[in-house]
Chain A
Amino acid sequence: MSIVSAIVIGVGNEYRHDDGAAIEVINRLRRRHLPGVSLVTTDGEPSRLIDLWEGAELAVVLDAMRTQRPDPGRIHQVTLDEAVADPGTSGSSHGLGLGEAVDLGRALGRMPPRLIILAIEGADFSAGLGFSPQVADGIHDLESLVLTELARV
Protein backbone atom coordinates (compact mmCIF):
# COMPACT_ATOMS: atom_id res chain seq x y z
CA MET A 1 0.00 0.00 0.00
CA SER A 2 1.63 3.25 -1.11
CA ILE A 3 1.30 6.29 1.13
CA VAL A 4 -0.56 9.18 -0.41
CA SER A 5 -1.11 12.39 1.46
CA ALA A 6 -4.82 12.49 0.87
CA ILE A 7 -7.59 10.57 -0.81
CA VAL A 8 -11.06 11.84 -1.59
CA ILE A 9 -13.59 9.04 -2.05
CA GLY A 10 -16.92 9.73 -3.70
CA VAL A 11 -19.61 7.20 -2.83
CA GLY A 12 -22.78 6.87 -4.84
CA ASN A 13 -24.50 5.95 -8.04
CA GLU A 14 -24.50 8.60 -10.74
CA TYR A 15 -27.57 7.01 -12.31
CA ARG A 16 -29.75 7.62 -9.27
CA HIS A 17 -30.18 11.37 -9.30
CA ASP A 18 -29.04 12.89 -5.97
CA ASP A 19 -27.21 9.69 -5.02
CA GLY A 20 -24.59 10.77 -7.57
CA ALA A 21 -23.78 14.08 -5.82
CA ALA A 22 -20.46 12.82 -4.46
CA ILE A 23 -19.49 11.42 -7.88
CA GLU A 24 -20.13 14.86 -9.39
CA VAL A 25 -17.87 16.49 -6.77
CA ILE A 26 -15.08 14.03 -7.65
CA ASN A 27 -15.51 14.85 -11.36
CA ARG A 28 -15.16 18.55 -10.58
CA LEU A 29 -12.12 18.00 -8.36
CA ARG A 30 -10.45 15.98 -11.14
CA ARG A 31 -10.52 19.05 -13.37
CA ARG A 32 -8.44 20.91 -10.74
CA HIS A 33 -5.47 18.49 -11.04
CA LEU A 34 -4.72 18.57 -7.32
CA PRO A 35 -1.15 17.36 -6.62
CA GLY A 36 -0.75 14.54 -4.09
CA VAL A 37 -4.47 13.95 -3.87
CA SER A 38 -6.01 10.71 -5.06
CA LEU A 39 -9.59 11.01 -6.32
CA VAL A 40 -11.74 7.90 -6.62
CA THR A 41 -15.37 6.89 -6.85
CA THR A 42 -16.90 3.74 -5.42
CA ASP A 43 -20.18 2.19 -4.35
CA GLY A 44 -19.44 2.42 -0.62
CA GLU A 45 -18.93 -1.31 -0.10
CA PRO A 46 -16.96 -1.52 3.17
CA SER A 47 -14.02 -3.67 2.06
CA ARG A 48 -13.41 -1.41 -0.93
CA LEU A 49 -13.60 1.71 1.23
CA ILE A 50 -11.07 0.21 3.63
CA ASP A 51 -8.73 -0.74 0.77
CA LEU A 52 -8.98 2.81 -0.52
CA TRP A 53 -8.46 4.77 2.67
CA GLU A 54 -5.82 2.54 4.25
CA GLY A 55 -2.44 4.21 3.96
CA ALA A 56 -3.68 7.74 3.35
CA GLU A 57 -2.82 10.47 5.85
CA LEU A 58 -6.21 12.03 5.29
CA ALA A 59 -9.28 10.39 3.81
CA VAL A 60 -12.35 12.42 2.93
CA VAL A 61 -15.43 10.34 2.16
CA LEU A 62 -18.27 12.06 0.33
CA ASP A 63 -21.70 10.52 0.25
CA ALA A 64 -25.33 11.37 -0.29
CA MET A 65 -27.73 10.58 2.52
CA ARG A 66 -31.43 10.11 3.03
CA THR A 67 -33.14 11.49 6.08
CA GLN A 68 -36.67 11.04 7.32
CA ARG A 69 -37.40 14.75 6.93
CA PRO A 70 -35.03 15.74 4.12
CA ASP A 71 -33.47 19.16 3.92
CA PRO A 72 -31.99 18.67 0.43
CA GLY A 73 -28.56 20.14 -0.06
CA ARG A 74 -27.78 20.33 3.67
CA ILE A 75 -24.29 19.04 4.39
CA HIS A 76 -23.33 17.02 7.46
CA GLN A 77 -19.77 16.57 8.61
CA VAL A 78 -19.04 13.49 10.68
CA THR A 79 -15.76 13.03 12.47
CA LEU A 80 -14.14 9.64 12.86
CA ASP A 81 -15.39 9.12 16.40
CA GLU A 82 -18.98 9.88 15.56
CA ALA A 83 -19.40 7.39 12.73
CA VAL A 84 -21.40 4.52 14.08
CA ALA A 85 -22.87 1.47 12.45
CA ASP A 86 -26.53 1.82 11.68
CA PRO A 87 -27.42 -1.02 9.34
CA GLY A 88 -31.06 -0.01 9.18
CA THR A 89 -30.29 3.13 7.23
CA SER A 90 -27.81 1.77 4.71
CA GLY A 91 -28.63 3.50 1.43
CA SER A 92 -26.50 1.33 -0.83
CA SER A 93 -28.16 -1.30 -2.97
CA HIS A 94 -24.97 -3.35 -2.88
CA GLY A 95 -24.67 -4.27 0.76
CA LEU A 96 -23.46 -2.53 3.87
CA GLY A 97 -22.65 1.08 4.47
CA LEU A 98 -20.18 3.62 5.73
CA GLY A 99 -20.80 2.97 9.42
CA GLU A 100 -19.97 -0.69 8.94
CA ALA A 101 -16.86 0.24 6.98
CA VAL A 102 -15.62 2.37 9.88
CA ASP A 103 -16.40 -0.38 12.38
CA LEU A 104 -14.67 -3.01 10.26
CA GLY A 105 -11.68 -0.73 9.57
CA ARG A 106 -11.28 -0.10 13.28
CA ALA A 107 -11.55 -3.81 14.17
CA LEU A 108 -8.91 -4.65 11.56
CA GLY A 109 -6.67 -1.67 12.41
CA ARG A 110 -6.98 -0.33 8.88
CA MET A 111 -8.08 3.24 9.44
CA PRO A 112 -6.40 6.42 8.22
CA PRO A 113 -5.09 8.85 10.88
CA ARG A 114 -7.80 11.30 9.86
CA LEU A 115 -11.15 10.43 8.34
CA ILE A 116 -13.69 13.08 7.45
CA ILE A 117 -17.12 12.13 6.21
CA LEU A 118 -19.11 14.76 4.37
CA ALA A 119 -22.66 13.76 3.55
CA ILE A 120 -25.17 15.79 1.59
CA GLU A 121 -28.88 15.29 2.08
CA GLY A 122 -30.66 14.25 -1.09
CA ALA A 123 -34.31 14.30 -2.07
CA ASP A 124 -34.51 12.13 -5.17
CA PHE A 125 -32.86 8.70 -5.25
CA SER A 126 -34.88 7.30 -8.14
CA ALA A 127 -33.25 6.07 -11.34
CA GLY A 128 -32.07 8.82 -13.68
CA LEU A 129 -29.56 11.57 -14.27
CA GLY A 130 -29.39 15.11 -12.83
CA PHE A 131 -29.83 16.60 -9.37
CA SER A 132 -32.55 18.27 -7.35
CA PRO A 133 -32.04 22.08 -7.47
CA GLN A 134 -30.99 22.33 -3.80
CA VAL A 135 -28.57 19.43 -4.18
CA ALA A 136 -27.10 21.01 -7.30
CA ASP A 137 -26.34 24.12 -5.18
CA GLY A 138 -25.06 21.98 -2.33
CA ILE A 139 -22.58 20.21 -4.62
CA HIS A 140 -20.73 23.51 -5.01
CA ASP A 141 -20.54 23.91 -1.21
CA LEU A 142 -19.41 20.31 -0.83
CA GLU A 143 -16.55 20.88 -3.25
CA SER A 144 -15.50 24.02 -1.32
CA LEU A 145 -15.52 22.09 1.97
CA VAL A 146 -13.30 19.38 0.49
CA LEU A 147 -10.86 21.98 -0.81
CA THR A 148 -10.74 23.61 2.63
CA GLU A 149 -9.94 20.27 4.29
CA LEU A 150 -7.30 19.44 1.69
CA ALA A 151 -5.65 22.83 2.19
CA ARG A 152 -4.98 21.89 5.82
CA VAL A 153 -2.88 18.85 4.91
Chain B
Amino acid sequence: MARDHRPLVERGLALKKAGNEILELVGGRAIHPVNVRIGGFYRAPARAKLIPLAERLRWAGDAALETVRWVAGFDFPDFEHDHQMFALSLPGTYAIEAGTPTYRGVLGEPVGATRSFPVSGFEQHVVEEQVPHSTALHARLAGERYLVGPTARYTLNSQWLSEPARAAAREAGLGTECRNPFRSILVRAVEIVYAVDEALRIIEAYEPPDRPWIDVEPHAGVGYGATEAPRGVLYHRYDLDADGLVTAARIIPPTSQNQAAIEDDLRRFVMSRLDLGDERLQWECEQAIRNYDPCISCSTHFLDLSVIRTGDGPAERLAGHR
Protein backbone atom coordinates (compact mmCIF):
# COMPACT_ATOMS: atom_id res chain seq x y z
CA MET B 1 0.00 0.00 0.00
CA ALA B 2 2.89 2.38 0.80
CA ARG B 3 4.13 1.93 -2.77
CA ASP B 4 0.73 2.33 -4.44
CA HIS B 5 -0.86 4.97 -2.19
CA ARG B 6 2.07 6.80 -0.69
CA PRO B 7 0.26 10.09 0.16
CA LEU B 8 -2.47 8.21 2.03
CA VAL B 9 0.05 6.21 4.03
CA GLU B 10 2.05 9.36 4.79
CA ARG B 11 -1.13 11.05 6.01
CA GLY B 12 -1.99 8.09 8.21
CA LEU B 13 1.51 8.00 9.70
CA ALA B 14 1.44 11.76 10.34
CA LEU B 15 -1.93 11.45 12.10
CA LYS B 16 -0.53 8.67 14.25
CA LYS B 17 2.50 10.80 15.02
CA ALA B 18 0.28 13.66 16.18
CA GLY B 19 -1.33 11.25 18.64
CA ASN B 20 2.05 10.03 19.80
CA GLU B 21 3.12 13.62 20.45
CA ILE B 22 0.19 14.10 22.83
CA LEU B 23 1.21 11.01 24.74
CA GLU B 24 4.88 11.99 24.80
CA LEU B 25 4.00 15.41 26.19
CA VAL B 26 1.55 14.18 28.82
CA GLY B 27 2.91 10.72 29.51
CA GLY B 28 6.64 11.33 29.20
CA ARG B 29 6.98 8.88 26.33
CA ALA B 30 4.73 7.40 23.67
CA ILE B 31 4.68 3.83 24.94
CA HIS B 32 4.50 2.65 28.54
CA PRO B 33 4.15 6.27 29.76
CA VAL B 34 6.16 7.09 32.87
CA ASN B 35 4.66 10.42 33.97
CA VAL B 36 1.56 9.02 35.66
CA ARG B 37 1.72 8.59 39.43
CA ILE B 38 -0.73 7.79 42.19
CA GLY B 39 -2.84 10.90 42.64
CA GLY B 40 -2.04 12.46 39.27
CA PHE B 41 1.09 13.24 37.26
CA TYR B 42 4.71 13.90 38.17
CA ARG B 43 4.85 16.89 35.85
CA ALA B 44 2.23 18.91 34.02
CA PRO B 45 3.12 20.43 30.64
CA ALA B 46 3.68 24.18 30.41
CA ARG B 47 1.24 26.10 28.22
CA ALA B 48 4.04 27.12 25.86
CA LYS B 49 4.70 23.46 25.08
CA LEU B 50 1.11 23.02 23.95
CA ILE B 51 1.21 25.74 21.30
CA PRO B 52 3.18 23.76 18.68
CA LEU B 53 1.11 20.69 19.54
CA ALA B 54 -2.13 22.61 18.94
CA GLU B 55 -0.77 23.75 15.58
CA ARG B 56 -0.12 20.15 14.62
CA LEU B 57 -3.54 19.09 15.85
CA ARG B 58 -5.25 21.69 13.68
CA TRP B 59 -3.56 20.05 10.70
CA ALA B 60 -4.57 16.65 12.08
CA GLY B 61 -8.23 17.76 12.25
CA ASP B 62 -8.26 18.47 8.52
CA ALA B 63 -6.39 15.24 7.80
CA ALA B 64 -8.89 13.29 9.91
CA LEU B 65 -11.84 14.76 7.99
CA GLU B 66 -10.19 13.84 4.69
CA THR B 67 -9.65 10.35 6.08
CA VAL B 68 -13.36 9.99 6.92
CA ARG B 69 -14.29 11.00 3.35
CA TRP B 70 -11.78 8.52 1.94
CA VAL B 71 -12.93 5.63 4.16
CA ALA B 72 -16.60 6.40 3.39
CA GLY B 73 -15.86 5.43 -0.22
CA PHE B 74 -14.83 1.89 0.71
CA ASP B 75 -16.91 -1.04 -0.45
CA PHE B 76 -18.49 -2.47 2.73
CA PRO B 77 -20.03 -5.94 2.69
CA ASP B 78 -23.75 -5.96 3.39
CA PHE B 79 -23.82 -7.54 6.84
CA GLU B 80 -25.58 -6.77 10.12
CA HIS B 81 -25.26 -8.33 13.54
CA ASP B 82 -27.87 -8.56 16.28
CA HIS B 83 -25.55 -8.50 19.32
CA GLN B 84 -26.05 -6.39 22.41
CA MET B 85 -23.80 -3.33 22.35
CA PHE B 86 -21.90 -2.20 25.42
CA ALA B 87 -19.95 1.01 26.10
CA LEU B 88 -19.35 3.62 28.75
CA SER B 89 -21.75 6.54 28.64
CA LEU B 90 -21.41 9.96 30.20
CA PRO B 91 -24.10 12.44 29.19
CA GLY B 92 -22.55 15.62 27.81
CA THR B 93 -19.44 13.97 26.43
CA TYR B 94 -18.41 11.09 24.18
CA ALA B 95 -17.17 8.85 26.99
CA ILE B 96 -13.53 7.77 26.86
CA GLU B 97 -11.80 7.93 30.23
CA ALA B 98 -14.87 7.74 32.46
CA GLY B 99 -18.53 6.88 32.30
CA THR B 100 -21.25 4.48 33.34
CA PRO B 101 -21.29 0.99 31.80
CA THR B 102 -24.34 1.04 29.52
CA TYR B 103 -25.76 -1.40 27.00
CA ARG B 104 -28.34 -1.67 24.29
CA GLY B 105 -30.19 -4.93 23.84
CA VAL B 106 -30.33 -7.06 20.76
CA LEU B 107 -31.47 -5.81 17.37
CA GLY B 108 -35.13 -4.91 17.36
CA GLU B 109 -35.27 -3.32 20.78
CA PRO B 110 -36.37 0.31 20.61
CA VAL B 111 -33.64 2.88 20.00
CA GLY B 112 -32.87 4.63 23.26
CA ALA B 113 -33.76 1.60 25.41
CA THR B 114 -30.57 1.23 27.39
CA ARG B 115 -29.62 -0.33 30.69
CA SER B 116 -26.71 0.61 32.89
CA PHE B 117 -24.94 -0.34 36.09
CA PRO B 118 -22.17 1.15 38.23
CA VAL B 119 -18.54 0.26 37.44
CA SER B 120 -18.36 -1.48 40.84
CA GLY B 121 -21.02 -3.91 39.59
CA PHE B 122 -19.07 -4.84 36.46
CA GLU B 123 -18.17 -8.36 37.52
CA GLN B 124 -21.77 -9.14 38.46
CA HIS B 125 -22.94 -8.25 34.97
CA VAL B 126 -19.98 -9.32 32.85
CA VAL B 127 -18.94 -12.92 33.33
CA GLU B 128 -15.94 -14.45 31.58
CA GLU B 129 -16.12 -18.18 30.98
CA GLN B 130 -14.20 -21.00 29.39
CA VAL B 131 -15.80 -22.58 26.34
CA PRO B 132 -15.10 -26.13 25.15
CA HIS B 133 -14.01 -25.25 21.61
CA SER B 134 -11.49 -22.48 22.32
CA THR B 135 -8.56 -21.47 24.52
CA ALA B 136 -9.91 -17.89 24.55
CA LEU B 137 -12.19 -16.73 27.35
CA HIS B 138 -15.67 -15.64 26.30
CA ALA B 139 -17.48 -12.91 28.22
CA ARG B 140 -21.25 -12.68 28.58
CA LEU B 141 -23.24 -9.61 29.53
CA ALA B 142 -26.50 -10.40 31.29
CA GLY B 143 -25.96 -13.93 30.01
CA GLU B 144 -25.81 -12.94 26.34
CA ARG B 145 -23.03 -12.30 23.82
CA TYR B 146 -22.29 -8.66 23.15
CA LEU B 147 -19.77 -6.41 21.55
CA VAL B 148 -17.70 -3.44 22.65
CA GLY B 149 -15.68 -0.99 20.60
CA PRO B 150 -16.27 1.74 18.01
CA THR B 151 -19.69 0.73 16.71
CA ALA B 152 -21.03 0.20 20.24
CA ARG B 153 -19.67 3.57 21.36
CA TYR B 154 -21.10 5.26 18.32
CA THR B 155 -24.51 3.64 18.67
CA LEU B 156 -24.81 4.54 22.35
CA ASN B 157 -23.14 7.96 22.34
CA SER B 158 -23.02 9.52 18.88
CA GLN B 159 -25.14 12.47 20.04
CA TRP B 160 -22.22 13.53 22.23
CA LEU B 161 -19.66 13.71 19.42
CA SER B 162 -18.33 17.18 18.58
CA GLU B 163 -20.23 19.00 15.85
CA PRO B 164 -17.46 18.48 13.21
CA ALA B 165 -17.38 14.76 14.04
CA ARG B 166 -21.17 14.48 13.86
CA ALA B 167 -21.19 16.31 10.54
CA ALA B 168 -18.44 14.01 9.23
CA ALA B 169 -20.46 10.97 10.33
CA ARG B 170 -23.60 12.27 8.58
CA GLU B 171 -21.65 13.04 5.42
CA ALA B 172 -20.17 9.54 5.53
CA GLY B 173 -23.63 7.99 5.69
CA LEU B 174 -23.60 6.81 9.30
CA GLY B 175 -27.04 6.85 10.90
CA THR B 176 -27.96 6.86 14.58
CA GLU B 177 -26.74 3.30 15.07
CA CYS B 178 -24.20 1.13 13.32
CA ARG B 179 -24.70 -2.63 13.26
CA ASN B 180 -22.45 -3.43 10.32
CA PRO B 181 -19.10 -4.40 11.86
CA PHE B 182 -17.33 -3.76 8.54
CA ARG B 183 -18.19 -0.09 8.96
CA SER B 184 -16.33 0.06 12.29
CA ILE B 185 -13.35 1.49 10.38
CA LEU B 186 -15.61 4.38 9.37
CA VAL B 187 -16.57 4.97 13.00
CA ARG B 188 -12.90 4.83 13.96
CA ALA B 189 -12.18 7.56 11.40
CA VAL B 190 -15.01 9.71 12.84
CA GLU B 191 -13.60 9.09 16.34
CA ILE B 192 -10.25 10.45 15.21
CA VAL B 193 -11.99 13.68 14.19
CA TYR B 194 -13.56 13.76 17.65
CA ALA B 195 -10.27 12.97 19.42
CA VAL B 196 -8.53 15.85 17.68
CA ASP B 197 -11.41 18.24 18.51
CA GLU B 198 -11.36 17.09 22.13
CA ALA B 199 -7.57 17.49 22.40
CA LEU B 200 -7.82 21.04 21.04
CA ARG B 201 -10.70 21.84 23.42
CA ILE B 202 -8.64 20.62 26.38
CA ILE B 203 -5.58 22.58 25.27
CA GLU B 204 -7.60 25.79 24.86
CA ALA B 205 -9.04 25.49 28.38
CA TYR B 206 -5.82 24.31 29.99
CA GLU B 207 -4.38 26.09 33.01
CA PRO B 208 -1.31 24.35 34.51
CA PRO B 209 -2.11 23.23 38.05
CA ASP B 210 0.04 24.40 40.96
CA ARG B 211 0.81 20.79 41.67
CA PRO B 212 -0.21 18.07 39.23
CA TRP B 213 -1.03 15.47 41.85
CA ILE B 214 -2.95 15.10 45.08
CA ASP B 215 -1.66 13.32 48.15
CA VAL B 216 -3.03 9.83 48.59
CA GLU B 217 -2.88 8.11 51.96
CA PRO B 218 -2.97 4.33 51.64
CA HIS B 219 -5.89 2.51 53.23
CA ALA B 220 -7.59 -0.81 52.67
CA GLY B 221 -10.27 -0.88 50.01
CA VAL B 222 -11.27 -1.90 46.51
CA GLY B 223 -10.83 0.35 43.47
CA TYR B 224 -12.84 -0.06 40.28
CA GLY B 225 -12.20 1.64 36.96
CA ALA B 226 -13.35 1.38 33.37
CA THR B 227 -12.20 3.25 30.26
CA GLU B 228 -12.84 3.06 26.56
CA ALA B 229 -9.71 1.59 25.01
CA PRO B 230 -9.77 1.87 21.20
CA ARG B 231 -11.04 -1.72 20.98
CA GLY B 232 -13.69 -1.20 23.63
CA VAL B 233 -14.45 -1.23 27.34
CA LEU B 234 -11.47 -2.04 29.55
CA TYR B 235 -12.16 -2.85 33.19
CA HIS B 236 -9.73 -2.93 36.12
CA ARG B 237 -10.29 -3.81 39.77
CA TYR B 238 -7.66 -3.61 42.51
CA ASP B 239 -7.96 -4.81 46.11
CA LEU B 240 -5.62 -2.94 48.45
CA ASP B 241 -4.57 -3.71 52.01
CA ALA B 242 -4.02 -1.11 54.75
CA ASP B 243 -0.48 -0.42 53.48
CA GLY B 244 -1.73 0.18 49.95
CA LEU B 245 -0.33 -3.07 48.60
CA VAL B 246 -2.35 -4.73 45.84
CA THR B 247 -3.63 -8.06 47.14
CA ALA B 248 -5.82 -8.94 44.14
CA ALA B 249 -6.31 -7.54 40.66
CA ARG B 250 -8.74 -8.24 37.85
CA ILE B 251 -8.51 -6.95 34.29
CA ILE B 252 -11.22 -7.62 31.70
CA PRO B 253 -9.96 -6.49 28.29
CA PRO B 254 -12.05 -5.97 25.15
CA THR B 255 -10.58 -9.13 23.63
CA SER B 256 -12.62 -11.61 25.66
CA GLN B 257 -15.70 -9.40 25.56
CA ASN B 258 -15.82 -9.42 21.77
CA GLN B 259 -14.79 -13.03 21.32
CA ALA B 260 -18.28 -14.53 21.19
CA ALA B 261 -19.48 -11.78 18.83
CA ILE B 262 -16.49 -12.29 16.52
CA GLU B 263 -17.13 -16.02 16.35
CA ASP B 264 -20.83 -15.51 15.71
CA ASP B 265 -20.06 -12.98 12.96
CA LEU B 266 -17.60 -15.35 11.36
CA ARG B 267 -20.06 -18.23 11.40
CA ARG B 268 -22.87 -16.20 9.86
CA PHE B 269 -20.54 -14.40 7.47
CA VAL B 270 -19.11 -17.66 6.16
CA MET B 271 -22.55 -19.25 5.83
CA SER B 272 -23.58 -16.50 3.43
CA ARG B 273 -20.42 -16.85 1.34
CA LEU B 274 -20.07 -20.57 0.81
CA ASP B 275 -19.71 -20.05 -2.93
CA LEU B 276 -16.43 -18.17 -2.58
CA GLY B 277 -13.05 -19.76 -3.22
CA ASP B 278 -10.86 -20.53 -0.21
CA GLU B 279 -8.43 -17.67 -0.77
CA ARG B 280 -11.14 -15.04 -1.14
CA LEU B 281 -13.03 -16.47 1.82
CA GLN B 282 -9.94 -16.33 4.02
CA TRP B 283 -9.34 -12.72 3.03
CA GLU B 284 -12.90 -11.71 3.89
CA CYS B 285 -12.78 -13.63 7.19
CA GLU B 286 -9.58 -11.81 8.12
CA GLN B 287 -11.42 -8.56 7.50
CA ALA B 288 -14.30 -9.74 9.69
CA ILE B 289 -11.87 -10.29 12.59
CA ARG B 290 -10.02 -7.03 12.03
CA ASN B 291 -13.34 -5.19 12.33
CA TYR B 292 -13.14 -5.82 16.04
CA ASP B 293 -9.66 -6.45 17.11
CA PRO B 294 -6.57 -5.34 15.23
CA CYS B 295 -4.49 -6.74 18.08
CA ILE B 296 -5.48 -10.28 17.10
CA SER B 297 -4.59 -9.60 13.53
CA CYS B 298 -1.47 -7.43 13.72
CA SER B 299 0.34 -10.00 11.62
CA THR B 300 -0.53 -10.19 7.95
CA HIS B 301 -1.29 -13.90 7.76
CA PHE B 302 -2.85 -14.71 11.09
CA LEU B 303 -5.72 -16.92 10.02
CA ASP B 304 -5.47 -20.62 9.33
CA LEU B 305 -8.59 -21.46 7.41
CA SER B 306 -9.47 -25.10 6.85
CA VAL B 307 -12.36 -25.76 4.52
CA ILE B 308 -14.00 -29.17 4.43
CA ARG B 309 -16.29 -29.27 1.44
CA THR B 310 -18.92 -31.95 1.39
CA GLY B 311 -20.68 -33.08 -1.74
CA ASP B 312 -24.23 -32.58 -0.55
CA GLY B 313 -25.52 -29.18 0.42
CA PRO B 314 -23.64 -26.54 2.37
CA ALA B 315 -20.01 -27.17 3.15
CA GLU B 316 -18.76 -27.39 6.68
CA ARG B 317 -16.06 -24.86 7.21
CA LEU B 318 -13.77 -24.45 10.16
CA ALA B 319 -11.89 -21.26 10.86
CA GLY B 320 -9.37 -20.57 13.56
CA HIS B 321 -6.76 -17.96 14.28
CA ARG B 322 -3.42 -18.38 15.90
Contacts and interface: CB of A to CB of B under 8 A. Distances in A.
Interface of A: 13, 42-43, 45, 47-48, 50-51, 87-88, 90, 94-96, 103-104, 107-108
A107 B6 contact: yes
Contacts of B300: 87
Contacts of B3: 107
B302 to A, nearest CB: 8
Interface of B: 2-3, 6, 9-10, 13, 16-17, 20, 30-32, 298-301
Contacts of A108: 2, 6, 9-10
Contacts of B6: 107-108
A51 B17 contact: yes
Contacts of B10: 108
Contacts, number: 34
Nearest to A108: B2
Given A48-B30, A87-B301, A88-B299, 18 more contacts: A13-B32, A43-B31, A47-B16, A48-B20, A51-B17, A87-B299, A87-B300, A88-B301, A90-B299, A94-B31, A95-B298, A103-B2, A104-B2, A104-B9, A107-B2, A107-B9, A108-B2, A108-B6
Nearest to A51: B17
Task: Give the top 7 A-B pairs by smallest Cβ distance, nearest first.
Answer: A107-B2, A87-B299, A87-B300, A43-B31, A107-B3, A47-B13, A95-B298
A90 B298 contact: yes
Query: For B6, B9, B13, which residue has the most chain A Cβ atoms within 10 angstroms?
Result: B13
Given A94-B31, A108-B6, A47 B17 contact: yes
B308 to A, nearest CB: 25
B272 to A, nearest CB: 29
